[in-house]
Structure 1
């Protein structure tokens, strides 16, 4: 029979268990809303936007990257008919947003791939390998140090035109094992994981036009669940065949003049584009702990489906409203804090009014002096299908970094089917300073799939507690820069590229440049080391750099010689002591233990004036 003391003990134990469960629940809820840091980016977009810096210049300058369809893809004259909705087998436009690099050029040897295998690989796989490598270097994450890490890969991809082309030019007898591994969509993610030795989740995602933004959402969820410690997320889409354009032309979705005109009265469809992009993601606390450069924060995200609407490709405004509200709730952000939204913005007669109406219903009434700016990168580079969302996301990250909203192109007269007086929106048509309104800048990014699958992300500029702490800057008189590559030509090209970068950013911190080059890149056999005291000196040495030294395959033996016997002198370690925190910490510890028994105080070796007997 239980006594009163027993019952009290049971109650106390039960109360403690409830407290433990509440703590665990709070921990899980906090984890689910933990911000995700974007620490690196890589991209290939139309208009020679082969890196984030060039992409920003394209956006800031309001560049129209739409060109005529290149002959290297197909002869547009054979397919063009502006009245293609009536004539089957034709395309409504001769234009598109195409990469200006030759996509058949690929350094297979760098990635350990044989020429035969590379020939049978979808160019989307090849391009993503390059973008992944560059994104990791941009994040100062040396790719060769990620082997066996729980890094995840999440790739949005929908079609493979290359397999279709191979099928047309090869008989079944020529099909080898590389046809399968080189062209299966799942291998776009698996190939990156395999090459880099990554052991986190590896997914290829197809939700039509929202694929890449959905991939980012899934990566964020995976990070919060602890499935991976870091993630590469984004998507790719290359236009190698006219087939999809023929089909889209029949729906009236393709603009005959090749220009996407979001929110304009003359909006009559979009132009197809191509490209790819990846972001490198970490949990915010991990990024701060590692000292990573944080470009922006993903506060929250959501995905949903249109469900039943008037047609499978017809947007559902109610579903879009629910999506954006859910993303805001997941981010812990109220609508009035959002100052910019990168819309899906396809410039279609039906899509734009539905999207603006849905967005307006969420944003509600606002102070007329603080409207929400909206825009669409599709006016610059076209609709990148599976890569559309990542193009939008990288645009917003760059805008947050530069505190400037790029212009949306081809807006002459606002679409009369949108009640602009009712909704708190403005569409900047010139580069516009992004006012902070005495709080962090927050933006939304939308991506809606033709199949009804939608994604929305909430981003915030990278302002963390660490930004408010003024850390003393170490003034080192000289800096060491190391560069390496797999060949002399590649090393020369790398040195030239860095010199051009330094010329473009003369005020950049030399120490930061050297740190990123020394620790954020893999080291190869052809090597170059330069010591410089200024950015100009470094540039001159890069221009006149001698041939690299080829590192031997075996590591050399290193010996430290401590001569003693009076070879020491006053101040011999002064400069090191002043400029190297690690040395200073250990020197102070050594001094404390040696001073009581030392004839010459330990500190004398770090003094400029004290003599040594």
Structure 2
């Protein structure tokens, strides 16, 4: 299936994330496959709360319910701690920066490391940055301190466009650099835009993702008054109890290349993005009500661009907010395009990561995409949580859908694993992406991967680490020691090669010599 569209396929060569209960992709996968959620009351220190505060004391008394403030939160240390000197930022400027800027810098660096790309290899090149963001909580928080809090760095620190631009500036990237706001579909639309930029040649490498931090209670209060939050503090996707969503925060980034270039460069390819599409409802019952025909159209168009048959799709990661209006419309659209295109004995598996970590709003789409990427890579489908009784407004049998309510194998793991990911914005901007596994055997190419070498013998091997200061160097060494201690399958020479060729050589350096 890949050979006929090789020139259009986009390879995912690196990933990173900072999500509730999951500081990295490996931890995120463990949370997913074990069917866990990271939903809690707002942690102490958030929104002025202390350890003695009750969740119901956070929002106004006329909100949807006592648990509406629950959500998927990052620890306060994950938001406040930032190695400003590492990124060449003065402490005073860092204090005035939206933490979403800081988080995107960290995620971009980590995603490039995961891809084995050192920043020096990308500097001055056509590398693009596409970031989905819809929240301005930190700007609102700063405004509460009045004019006296305004400083020279306030402009760049609070402007949303700088979230993407600062990454481009720090890494020296000269491709497109944009912060995208299409509502809750923002980060998946960012991935779509990144893929189109790569296909057109505008970018040679692209970082795409999204961030979302819930820093003030007023935003949650506003969403609750709109009627979108679950009073139970749970997301019941496709369940009879569906009554709204629970908020989440964090972010994720993927590093993308054209597949042919990734193969030639010898990059670690996690999967491929076959195609994607974006549209808008263009009308409907209300401004914010989803439109079934528009959702059908975006899914159908994504399949056409991907060159795949709907019947071959084995799983769809839903937008799946668990709302009374949204879930039945999304189910009807999927049933029309994919469910009824397959044998009735093989219903389409669906699920929602929002049941694990909440709705990350501006970063929701990239979170769902990361779940799909990891599911393809590990060849396993995690459970969609909080599902007990089918929503009576969703005729699963007639639509030929089934909720993936337990972790298990893909329906047909003897076939190419093919998944879809959906994200829909409140104002009607819809996006769908088609994800497929990748195997070198399925692509015919005469190019030998760059860096391919003959096997190296055993013996003394150097492991090199570096940092921008002594403390950073020691921290890197500690992380490397922890990583090595947790893995029994490491080959010392492979680790040494990766450290020497795929990590930036910073100013303070050290080497450990060992044979095992």
- The TM-score normalised by the length of structure 2 is 0.92
Using the TM superposition, give the Cα deviation of residue 359 of structure 1 relative to its aligned residue in structure 2, in angstroms: 0.3
Is 1:252 the counterpart of 2:227? The answer is: yes
- Distance in 2 between the 1:234 and 1:472 partners? 33
Q: Give unpaired runs (5+ residues) of structure 2.
A: 50-54
- 1:293 maps to 268
- Distance in 1 between the 2:488 and 2:344 partners? 40
Is 1:349 the counterpart of 2:328? The answer is: no
Alignment RMSD = 2.1
Mapping of 1:426-505 within 5 angstroms? 426-465=402-441, 474-478=455-459, 479-505=461-487
Is 1:193 the counterpart of 2:193? The answer is: no
Cα contact 1:151–1:229 (8 A) shared by 2: yes
Mapping of 1:214-613 within 5 angstroms? 214-363=189-338, 364-465=340-441, 474-478=455-459, 479-533=461-515, 537=516
Cα contact 1:67–1:96 (8 A) shared by 2: yes
- The TM-score normalised by the length of structure 1 is 0.78
Cα distance per residue 1:331-373 (max 9 Å; x no partner): 0011011001000000011111110110000012422443321
Q: Secondary structure at the match of 1:155?
A: strand
- 1:595 maps to none
Is 1:44 the counterpart of 2:18? The answer is: yes
- 2:52 maps to none
- 2:36 maps to 63
- Distance in 2 between the 1:114 and 1:487 partners? 15
Cα distance per residue 1:548-569 (max 9 Å; x no partner): xxxxxxxxxxxxxxxxxxxxxx
Q: Give unpaired runs (5+ residues) of structure 1.
A: 1-28, 538-613
- Distance in 2 between the 1:289 and 1:522 partners? 22
Which one has a bigger Cα radius of gyration?
1
Cα contact 2:43–2:75 (8 A) shared by 1: no
Using the TM superposition, give the Cα deviation of residue 280 of structure 1 relative to its aligned residue in structure 2, in angstroms: 0.2
- Distance in 1 between the 2:369 and 2:205 partners? 18
Using the TM superposition, give the Cα deviation of residue 77 of structure 1 relative to its aligned residue in structure 2, in angstroms: 4.3
- 1:84 maps to 63
Using the TM superposition, give the Cα deviation of residue 427 of structure 1 relative to its aligned residue in structure 2, in angstroms: 1.5
Using the TM superposition, give the Cα deviation of residue 449 of structure 1 relative to its aligned residue in structure 2, in angstroms: 0.6
Cα contact 2:464–2:509 (8 A) shared by 1: yes
Using the TM superposition, give the Cα deviation of residue 424 of structure 1 relative to its aligned residue in structure 2, in angstroms: 2.2
Cα contact 1:186–1:204 (8 A) shared by 2: yes
- Distance in 1 between the 2:285 and 2:327 partners? 16
In structure 2, do the counterparts of structure 1 residues 370 and 473 end up closer, same or farther at CA, with 3 Å as the change threshold? farther
Using the TM superposition, give the Cα deviation of residue 224 of structure 1 relative to its aligned residue in structure 2, in angstroms: 0.5
Using the TM superposition, give the Cα deviation of residue 81 of structure 1 relative to its aligned residue in structure 2, in angstroms: 5.7
- Distance in 2 between the 1:143 and 1:101 partners? 29
- Distance in 1 between the 2:357 and 2:240 partners? 20
Using the TM superposition, give the Cα deviation of residue 310 of structure 1 relative to its aligned residue in structure 2, in angstroms: 0.6
Using the TM superposition, give the Cα deviation of residue 437 of structure 1 relative to its aligned residue in structure 2, in angstroms: 4.6
- 1:159 maps to 135
Greater RCO structure (CA 8 Å; 6+ sep): 2
- Distance in 1 between the 2:491 and 2:331 partners? 43
In structure 2, do the counterparts of structure 1 residues 370 and 517 end up closer, same or farther at CA, with 3 Å as the change threshold? farther
- Distance in 1 between the 2:76 and 2:464 partners? 28
Q: Secondary structure at the match of 1:380?
A: helix
Using the TM superposition, give the Cα deviation of residue 518 of structure 1 relative to its aligned residue in structure 2, in angstroms: 1.3
Mapping of 1:17-32 within 5 angstroms? none
- 1:178 maps to 153
- Distance in 2 between the 1:395 and 1:101 partners? 24
